[in-house]
Amino acid sequence: MLQKVVRSTVIDAPIERVWAVLRDFNSHDQWHGVVERSRIEGGRRGDQVGAVRDFWLRDGNHIREQLLTLSDSDYKSTYCIVEASVPLQRYVATVTLKPVTDGRRTFWHWESSFATPPGRERELREMVAQGVYEAGFENLRRHLERGADLRTPGSEPQPTALPLPSRRAALRQYGGPEVLVAGDGEAPAPGAGEVRIRQRAVGVNYFDVYLRKGWLPSLLPVAADAPGVPGMEAAGTVIDVGAGVNGLLPGDRVAYMGPQPGAYCSVRTVPADWVVRLPAALEDASAAALLLKGVTADMLLRDLGHVRAGTRLLVHAAAGGVGLLLCAWARKLGATVIGTVSSEDKARVARAHGCEHVIVTRDYRFADAVQAECGGADVVVDGLGDAAREQNFAALARCGHWISLGQASGSLQPISPDWLVQKSITFSRPVVFDFVATQRQLAERAQRVWDALAAGSIQLPPIERYALGAAGQAHAQLESRRSIGALVLIP
């Protein structure tokens, strides 16, 4: 009769981190106390289905096991014993992970079935349950707590109280893209509640242009002897963490967004509350292109636009960083998506990302086309500002909602309630950082963005990469209206 052993536990680490260890069929000698040595036969990779591993156990036993299935999307693998000096016969085991809903912990299920020589059932069940599974849970927990999964031998990061040098792009006076100049700065050691990050990719947002132009001097003060560093988001690797930081370790791959500028640099110290861990499959540049813009799209569609099947949604700059994400996600929700763009090239990309009705206009004339297409928009996402003011009003349907997101064409002149009342229009002026004011809110929204990407509800936008020192060129490109998708700086 086949014996069955089933054990499960919850590990205090996100699923991506646990899976990064378990998916490697050749990793057990690094974390499981019973395994002294592990080797994959024939030079195959540790995640290759069919690979056979040789285990030499500390008690002198030797086991050969074969990887039968491995699914990164289901976080699941199956393996069997091919040959063993312990009498486990027809042994097949499955490891399955599920995320716990708070996103920071992982449910781990481990089960197997096998036959034994008569009379040894109980002893061998006990050995597998306690000696392999329960001990494995405990050993992996310790391995992750030490951060040993994040280090390569000899490269353990040393906590240091010293500032680290940081290359940056900064301005000493407000002005055009040319005021952004490369220079040297430093990132202080992380204080309580802070993390220091080696940045691999920095997201460029249109908001950075407003800062550079001096529209928000209290947020980015600049002086000849105190340059201001723009930038609200980046992705990279944690160097060290300050006191009281939970859930982040040196070596973690992370991204952040925060309400204080300063991201145009190579090393930055930021509050841990701004930071989220990255899924293993998401590259740094993709994360920097997606985090702030994706969270903005989530805020617009869910919280402000209440976009659902049948909503008529007008998206300006539909081929831009935020625009492409909005088009795809809204379409997935069943909305009728109408977008404006300034060129045929942009129109093609917007269509490919789900924008059904594309209006090509460079001079902000779109209201008649919107009315003709769908009888007016229920929701307008307006990143254009002043030049599109009258047309936005005209494009809205009765009881429509005007979301003033940004002002690429110039500062929006005050809107009078007496004007809005003519069509019972509501108006909002959101700032995304107010919608991720706590780490929990940020983690939830970021997770929805990563999930939407994994599910195909949004696609990764085209990404234009610039060296950090060429930040001015990136700004010039963004302001020229030629950019498609997102821009990132590579420090």
322 is an interface residue for ligand NAP by CB under 6 A: yes
Q: Which of residues 203-262 bind ligand NAP (CB under 6 A)?
A: 205-207
With a CB cutoff of 8 Å and minimum separation 6, the contacts of 458 are 294, 297, 325, 328, 329, 332, 449, 452
- Total number of residues binding ligand NAP (CB under 6 A)? 27
Question: SS3 string of 331-383?
Answer: HHCCCEEEEEECCHHHHHHHHHCCCCEEEECCCCCCHHHHHHHHCCEEEEEEC
**63 touches 87 (CB < 8 A):** no
**263 touches 202 (CB < 8 A):** yes
In angstroms, give the least distance from the CB of 361 to ligand NAP.
Answer: 8
Nearer to ligand NAP, 190 or 406 (CB): 406
In angstroms, give the least distance from the CB of 451 to ligand NAP.
Answer: 20
C-alpha 451/C-alpha 466 separation (Å) is: 27
Q: Which of residues 323-382 bind ligand NAP (CB under 6 A)?
A: 323, 341-342, 346
Judged by CB under 6 A, the stretch of 11-19, 83-91, 281-289, 400-408 that binds ligand NAP is 400-408
In angstroms, give the least distance from the CB of 437 to ligand NAP.
Answer: 13
Give residue for tokens 């309630």.
Answer: 417
Single-letter code of the amino acid located at 223: A
In angstroms, give the least distance from the CB of 182 to ligand NAP.
Answer: 22
With a CB cutoff of 8 Å and minimum separation 6, the contacts of 426 are 399, 400, 401, 402, 420
319 is an interface residue for ligand NAP by CB under 6 A: yes
408 is an interface residue for ligand NAP by CB under 6 A: yes
Judged by CB under 6 A, the stretch of 77-85, 126-134, 319-327, 445-453 that binds ligand NAP is 319-327
E strand residue ranges, 12-133: 35-40, 52-57, 62-71, 76-84, 89-99, 106-115
Nearer to ligand NAP, 343 or 447 (CB): 343
Q: Which of residues 50-79 bind ligand NAP (CB under 6 A)?
A: none
Among 432, 468, 470, 488, binds ligand NAP (CB under 6 A): 432
Q: Count H helices, E strands: the chain?
A: 13, 22
In angstroms, give the least distance from the CB of 210 to ligand NAP.
Answer: 7
In angstroms, give the least distance from the CB of 347 to ligand NAP.
Answer: 9
Residues facing residue 110 across a β-bridge: 7, 95
In angstroms, give the least distance from the CB of 314 to ligand NAP.
Answer: 13
Instruction: Indicate the DSSP class of residue 40.
Output: E
296 is an interface residue for ligand NAP by CB under 6 A: yes
263 is an interface residue for ligand NAP by CB under 6 A: no
C-alpha 67/C-alpha 25 separation (Å) is: 7
Q: Which residues bind ligand NAP (CB under 6 A)?
A: 205-207, 293, 296, 317, 319-323, 341-342, 346, 383-384, 405-406, 408-409, 430-432, 478-479, 481, 483
